Amino acid sequence: MTREGPEADLLAMWRIRAFEEKLRELHKAGDLLGSVHLCIGQEAGPVGACAALTEQDALFATYRGHGWAIARGVPLRPLFAELLGRATGVNGGRGGSAYFSAADHGFHGENSIVGGGVSHAVGAALAGRHDGSGRIAMTVFGDGAMNQGAVAEAMNFAAAFDLPVLFLCENNRYSELTPIRDMVRNEALTDRATALGIAATRIDGNDPALVRSTVARYADAARDGRGPAFVELITQRLVGHYIGDVQQYRTRAELEEDGRAEPIARATAALAESGVDTEAIERAARDEVDAAAATALADPPADPATAKEHLYA
Amino acid sequence: MPELNYAGAVNAALRRCLEELPETLLYGEDVAKPGGVHGVTRRLWKDFGDRVFDTPISESAILGTAVGAAMMGRRPIVEIMWADFFLVALDQLVNQAANIRYVSQGRLAAPLTVRTQQGNSPAACAQHSQNLEALFTHVPGLRVVVPSTPQNAYDSMVSAVYCDDPVVVFDNRTLYLGEKQQVATGGAPAPIGGSTMRRTGAAATVVTWGAMTHRVLAAADRLAEEGTEVTVLETPWLNPFDHEAVHRSVAATGGRLAVVHEANVTGGFGGEVVVRALEAGVLSGRPLRLGAADTRIPAATALAGALIPDTEQILTELRKFTRA
Ligand SMILES: Cc1ncc(C[n+]2csc(CCOP(=O)(O)OP(=O)(O)O)c2C)c(N)n1
Ligand SMILES: [Mg+2]
């Protein structure tokens, strides 16, 4: 059955959340290793924003990028396989949780260097200007990344040349274990974009429909040659910065408040009120995720004999 | 003597420096209130107030402000959370810090310490796995140390902070929560430099540093069980480097020299160690350089394991080397 509107959004958000929760399980079981950054609580951003992109557009994300890849249409099994170090992963296990790409699906990569991918998006837009494709580029990064010099440089570069780039800043209030409010004097991050002449707005990043319409409007403007835009998505992560972060820096009250604001709880409440079987939506997502994880777990590990391949052309 | 793991030893050294040297500052991303992402700087913020603080994710400004503050007489200790993150900000060390004393004929100085950690750990991605010490040993004007044990980490940190040059201290995060050791914490700050003979044997000299030291020692022990004893010389300081100790040891082990590091082989500091021994005329036969393969480091452990020497591979290579 095909769902539409808010129901489709809820399903899309559940696919991401169920994927992330499965990762937590796999990590606990020792199948998934290393540093893994979950986007639980932040699902509305990718679901809303990716809807504004066409196949040829480029997307550059961060280590907290699983949700963005899923929203872009990367299938779940090779995504699980990538994180599990399987040969069938989108990068054969080379990228891992924090640094994979899936170019076939317009997902041009996570990045594990804060701010590292932002100028890539500007370059992708530049390429679009020269290759006649009309491509626009989107890049997503966190609040903390705003303090990285490379991000400021990239934003001005796009502004100076009117490049069609959408800068999305997911403001979850924390940069690892440190609150953004302690690391800036002016908490209106949109002001930095405005100061560079970039159209900017701050919106509720937990409302997928609002994210979709806002980003679509800027995407249209960018396609029309009106240059870059900056959208600050106010959101929250319901979990630690990485699996294992016990979040001593957050109060119980704050976590409870975040639990009420988060997108899935909100969408569920709204849909349940109009009689939609939201549990069926959750179940559908979980079934799909479980099946994909089980298949990926049975896939063969990356072959050590291939470890040196692809270094040069 | 307190019993400390590696992280605890660094913490004790930092505490001591903050106590003894009022001109020290300690800052970096998540180092103060959170106590560091690896817990190394835990509680220092509580005890030293605004001399210990968290910063924005701005490596260039972290290093650059350390240079400026050091020029004005402070003694900053700053953290770059992962050595890989140095790369967004290297101007401040290479073009700036390293030049200050030299070009001003000593009228200015940049006595700062940069703490960082590096290396591969299970499933770490390609941007969180590099061993970059050789980039820094190539830069005259910087000091470089790569410790391996709690005592070593404590001593190096104190020496680094007391040193009047810019010093980069490379930890390896896989060592932080390792075994506790009795750590002598009181002594006078040692001058930078030096090396430690970790075991002796006549078959060859194996030079190593950092986390690799543990793998090399384990391999050497296994080799000894097979009847071949090698000398293991640990050289935590890469600048200044104890070439003399290497040459003395090589001369005493039949001119045989092996160097093992986690960094990839080409352009690694091992090459410098070997060539200096060659120039000193102490080598006999071919030397051995062992390090990661010259490639990027993949996240999958099955792939990374094929590229970075483990105890087993070191043993195999040393066995071949000592029998050749
Ligand atoms: C250049 C660089 N500095 C530091 C880090 C370590 N680090 C990884 S994530 C992170 C916090 C980023 O916060 P934010 O941009 O708000 O994104 P979020 O994790 O909240 O999504 C830091 C400091 C890094 N990966 N790269
Ligand atoms: Mg954040």
Q: Which atom of ligand 1 is nearest to the CA of A143?
A: 16
B65-77 burial, b for 16+ CB within 10 Å, e for fewer? bbbbbbbeebbbb
Centre of ligand 2 from the C-alpha of residue A174, in Å: 4
A268-272 contacts: CB < 8 A, separation 24 or more? Answer: A268/A10, A270/A6, A271/A6, A271/A7, A271/A10
- Residue B124 at interface with chain A, using a CB cutoff of 8 Å: yes
Q: Which residues of B touch A145 (CB under 8 A)?
A: 57
**Can the peptide bond before residue B240 be classed as cis, meaning omega within 30 degrees of 0?**
yes
DSSP string, B70-120: HHTT-EEEEEESSGGGGGGSTHIIIIIIHHHHHHTTTSS----EEEEEES-
Nearest to A34 among B54, B85, B299 (CB): B299
Distance from CA of B237 to the nearest CA of A (A): 28
Residue of B31, B40, B57, B128 to mutate for A, most A C-beta atoms under 10 A: B57
pLDDT attached to residue B324: 83
Q: Which atom of ligand 1 is nearest to the CA of A237?
A: 20
Distance CA(B228)–CA(B221), nearest Å, equals 9
Q: Which residues of A touch B124 (CB under 8 A)?
A: 34-35, 96
Establish whether residue A113 lines the binding site of ligand 1, counting it when its CB lies within 6 angstroms of any ligand atom.
Answer: yes
Distance from CA of B59 to the nearest CA of A (A): 8
Question: Are residues B175 and B148 in contact, defined by beta-carbon separation less than 8 angstroms?
Answer: yes
- CATH number for the domain formed by residue range(s) A6-292: 3.40.50.970
Distance from CA of A225 to the nearest CA of B (A): 31
Nearest to A112 among B56, B125, B294 (CB): B125
* Structure ipTM: 0.96
Distance CA(A236)–CA(A259), nearest Å, equals 9
pLDDT string in tens for chain A (313-residue length): 789 999 999 999 999 999 999 999 999 999 999 999 999 999 999 999 999 999 999 999 999 999 999 999 999 999 999 999 999 999 999 999 999 999 999 999 999 999 999 999 999 999 999 999 999 999 999 999 999 999 999 999 999 999 999 999 999 999 999 999 999 999 999 999 999 999 999 999 999 999 999 999 999 999 999 999 999 999 999 999 999 999 999 999 999 999 999 999 999 999 999 999 999 999 999 999 999 999 999 999 999 999 999 999 9
Tell me whether residues A302 and B302 touch, CB distance under 8 A.
Answer: yes
pLDDT attached to residue B279: 98
pLDDT attached to residue B231: 98
Centre of ligand 1 from the C-alpha of residue A178, in Å: 10
Please give the structure tokens belonging to residue A18.
């169920």
Distance CA(A169)–CA(B313), nearest Å, equals 45
Nearest to B57 among A85, A86, A114 (CB): A114
pLDDT attached to residue A2: 84
Domain-wise residue ranges, chain A? 6-292
Distance CA(A66)–CA(A71), nearest Å, equals 9
Q: Which residues of A touch B123 (CB under 8 A)?
A: 32-35, 85, 96-97
Establish whether residue B125 lines the binding site of ligand 1, counting it when its CB lies within 6 angstroms of any ligand atom.
Answer: no
Closest residue to atom 22 of ligand 1, CA basis: A176
A117-143 burial, b for 16+ CB within 10 Å, e for fewer? bbbbbbbbbbebeeeeeebbbbbbbbb
Establish whether residue A35 lines the binding site of ligand 1, counting it when its CB lies within 6 angstroms of any ligand atom.
Answer: no
Residue to substitute in B57, B62, B117 for testing ligand 1 pocket (most ligand atoms within 8 angstroms of CB)? B57
In the CATH hierarchy, which fold is given to the domain comprising B3-182? Rossmann fold (3.40.50)
- Residue B90 at interface with chain A, using a CB cutoff of 8 Å: no
> Which class is B196-323 in CATH?
alpha beta
Closest residue to atom 25 of ligand 1, CA basis: A113
In this predicted model, what pLDDT tens digit does every residue of B19-28 receive, in sequence order?
Answer: 999 999 999 9
Question: Are residues B275 and B183 in contact, defined by beta-carbon separation less than 8 angstroms?
Answer: no
The answer, as to whether pTM is greater than 0.90, is: yes
Domain-wise residue ranges, chain B? 3-182, 196-323
Dihedral (C-alpha) B293, B299, B300, B306: value to the nearest 10 degrees?
Answer: 10
Distance CA(A50)–CA(B38), nearest Å, equals 35
Centre of ligand 2 from the C-alpha of residue A190, in Å: 15
In this predicted model, what pLDDT tens digit does every residue of B278-296 receive, in sequence order?
Answer: 999 999 999 999 999 999 9
Which residue has tokens 């992963």?
Answer: A89
Establish whether residue A145 lines the binding site of ligand 1, counting it when its CB lies within 6 angstroms of any ligand atom.
Answer: yes
As a three-state string, the secondary structure of chain A is CCCCHHHHHHHHHHHHHHHHHHHHHHHHCCCCCCCCCCCCCCCHHHHHHHCCCCCCCEEECCCCCHHHHHHCCCCHHHHHHHHCCECCCCCCCCCCCCCCCEHHHCECCCCCCCCCCHHHHHHHHHHHHHHCCCCCEEEEEECHHHHCHHHHHHHHHHHHCCCCEEEEEEECCEECCEEHHHCCCCCCCHHHHHHCCCEEEEEECCCHHHHHHHHHHHHHHHHCCCCCEEEEEECCCCCCCCCCCCCCCCCHHHHHHHHHHCHHHHHHHHHHHCCCCHHHHHHHHHHHHHHHHHHHHHCCECCHHHCCCCCCC
Distance from CA of A262 to the nearest CA of B (A): 25
Tell me whether residues A176 and B34 touch, CB distance under 8 A.
Answer: yes
For chain B, 324 residues long, the average pLDDT of each consecutive 10-residue run is: 97 98 98 97 97 98 98 98 98 98 97 98 98 98 98 98 98 98 95 97 98 98 98 98 98 98 98 98 97 98 98 98 93
Active site residue B128: yes
